[in-house]
Amino acid sequence: MTEPRPSIDELVVGDEPETWTAAGFTVDGDTCRIGTVRVRLAGRDAGSGISAWSLRNLLVAGDIDGIPTSSSDRAPATPAQHECGAGLVDHVVLMSPDGERTAAAVSAATGLEVRRVRDTDSYGMPMRQRFFRLGEVLLELVSSEPPAPGPVAFFGLAVTVDDLDALPALLGEHVGAIKDAVQPGRRLAALRHRALDISVPMIFMSPEP
């Protein structure tokens, strides 16, 4: 029998619900359901950005390399319909000064191995990307090279939308220019999140071809 694989239940974000509504997301109370993932909008009293998450089917309970982590046995969320066309969370980005250390911690907690490693300078300096699969979401672990001491933190997320070309009419100046993504056959546009008082860097992506 195949063991259940780890997946993301919830991301906790320090934003007010109305800021995400202004970006075209449907929010029920304090929760935005994007695909099977719940984004809990805990307000600015909870800090800013993504502050914590909960995962299913953890091997080891507790924080992962300092990332506030809780264990969940909730069923996947029922996807909501969003005006912006959000269908799922494509990937969540973690930033670490020591990618090998953080990757080892993720593997120890989840039993998952790194699927792929890529060197890039797309963040403005030489970086290494390591990828894990958490259910329908990719976890992208970005680290500087060579390794250095320091804490790991969430950076941002990417959301797949049904119709990327419809976003400029919906969001106007709050969405950047549409351009080709690294992934073949896909395109992306950045949300100008600060203007909407959203604390999480976010990009919208076209579906996989």
Whether residue 66 is contained in a domain is answered as yes
Whether residue 19 is contained in a domain is answered as yes
Task: Find the CATH number of the domain harbouring 129.
Answer: 3.10.180.10
What is the C-alpha to C-alpha distance for residues 54 and 58, in angstroms, rounded to an integer?
A: 10
Q: Which residues contact 3 (CB under 8 A, 6 or more apart)?
A: 57
Whether residue 2 is contained in a domain is answered as no
Whether residue 143 is contained in a domain is answered as yes
pLDDT at 147: 84
Whether residue 163 is contained in a domain is answered as yes
Whether residue 1 is contained in a domain is answered as no
pLDDT at 145: 78
pLDDT at 123: 66
For residue 98, what are the CA distances in angstroms to 57, 89, 104, 107, 160?
25, 25, 10, 14, 28
pTM: 0.94
For 133, the 3-state DSSP assignment is strand
What is the residue range of 200's domain? Answer: 7-205
Whether residue 152 is contained in a domain is answered as yes
For residue 77, what are the CA distances in angstroms to 7, 80, 93?
12, 9, 21
Q: Which two structure tokens, joined as six digits, stand for 179? A: 């351009």
Whether residue 79 is contained in a domain is answered as yes
What is the C-alpha to C-alpha distance for residues 199 and 32, in angstroms, rounded to an integer?
A: 15
pLDDT tens digits for range 149-184: 999 999 999 999 999 999 999 999 999 999 999 989
pLDDT at 2: 57
Number of domain units in the chain: 1
pLDDT at 66: 96
Residues in the chain with pLDDT values less than 50: 1
